[in-house]
Amino acid sequence: MAPLPIYHARRGWGIAAAGFNFWMAKTLDSIVQCLTSAGMTCRLQGEGNLQVSRVNTLEDAGAGDISFLANRKYSRLLASTRATAVVAPMEEEIARPDLAVIRTPDPYAAITRVVVELHGYRRHPRWGLDRRASVADSARIGAEANIAPGVTIGERVTIGDRVTIYPGCFLAPGCTLGQDVVLYPNVVLYEDTVLGHRVTIHAGSVIGEDGLGYAPVDGKWVKIPQVGHVEVADDVEIGANCTIDRATLGQTVIGRGTKFSNLIAVGHGTRIGEHCLLVAQVGVAGSVVVGNNVTMAGQAGVVGHIIIGDRATLGAKAGVTNDVPPGVTVLGQPAVPIADCKRQVASLHRLPEMRKRLKELEAEVQQLRKRLEADGQR
């Protein structure tokens, strides 16, 4: 059955269905009004009655689309884009009278607001509490639950209001979920996992599995029961296929507002601070303490039992083997401050030239030796 058009008091006519909203066109004047009402400085260059209905890239945009320029490296695309309008920096030179421009000091923040205005956030299918979900008698389910068929909810699980759980999810006994949590398909929460309010976990992630807890005894690895748990604070978003080990004792903690990309692995007993950003394929070993507002770029690896200070940045593929002070950016394997790493890389690139010069010097020294020896025999 096709989705039905609905009327929204502020946005006008649009389509209501699972997935993202695609509302009818809005004028550039209304877009500017939306941005200024959100506290953003902006100025329209062009006709305010032009209409846009979708946000798109500069390359793929067509008539009726609005795009943006946040990185000057893509300025060349302004000459060829077919977008109706673009959001661009205040000082950007755009020599196209046919292209409307919304100028603002922060185009990335502005286009984020435009995406929300035109497309909204993902709309979830509505199941209510589906009778095909398996829910233990002792589980407590909050108001307006949205639980799909094929979900398993164990004993003593507590679920807050307006929680959405997609098919295939498994919640082991003793888990606690706050309000407005979203679990996408096949998320697994092991025993006693705690999720705060507005936590989102994407498909295939596993929270609270046993960590690498083994003791060497008589040449063999003996498993240590992992009796701790995982606590994920409010407003955390975890990407697809991530794993967060339960603590051996105590808690593994993910701080408020932290965001994970996909394929992140966090070891047992690690504590990650607030508003951190971990990019794809980051691996953090056990018992690491990560401060607030830390960024870990793709494939960075962190050994266990170290401290990463507030506002530190780990560059892509950084192999971090020692503590990182607050505010420091490190790069390389092993990771060092970025200025040192750049010097190392520059030296490495000069190695062929240096090797050639060394051979020349060795040859000159050999010739000098021969001359000295010949002079000594006279």
Active-site residues, by number, are 268
Both tokens of 229, joined, read 């748990």
Q: CA nearest 70: which of 62, 78, 60?
A: 78
Measured distance CA(244)–CA(242) in Å, rounded? 7
Residues ≥6 apart with Cβ < 8 Å to 373: none
Measured distance CA(319)–CA(303) in Å, rounded? 8
> What is the Rg, in whole angstroms, of the alpha carbon atoms belonging to the chain?
28
Residues ≥6 apart with Cβ < 8 Å to 252: 211, 228, 229, 230, 231, 244, 245, 246, 266, 267, 268, 269, 270, 271
Q: Amino acid identity, residue 186?
A: N
- Tell me the C-alpha to C-alpha distance, in Å, between residue 285 and each of 46, 50, 327: 53, 53, 21
Contact (CB, 8 A) for 29 and 45:
no
What residue ranges in 100-219 does DSSP mark as E strands? Answer: 100-103, 134-135, 140-141, 146-147, 152-153, 158-159, 164-165, 170-171, 176-177, 182-183, 188-189, 194-195, 200-201, 206-209, 214-217
Contact (CB, 8 A) for 92 and 71:
no
Residues ≥6 apart with Cβ < 8 Å to 30: none
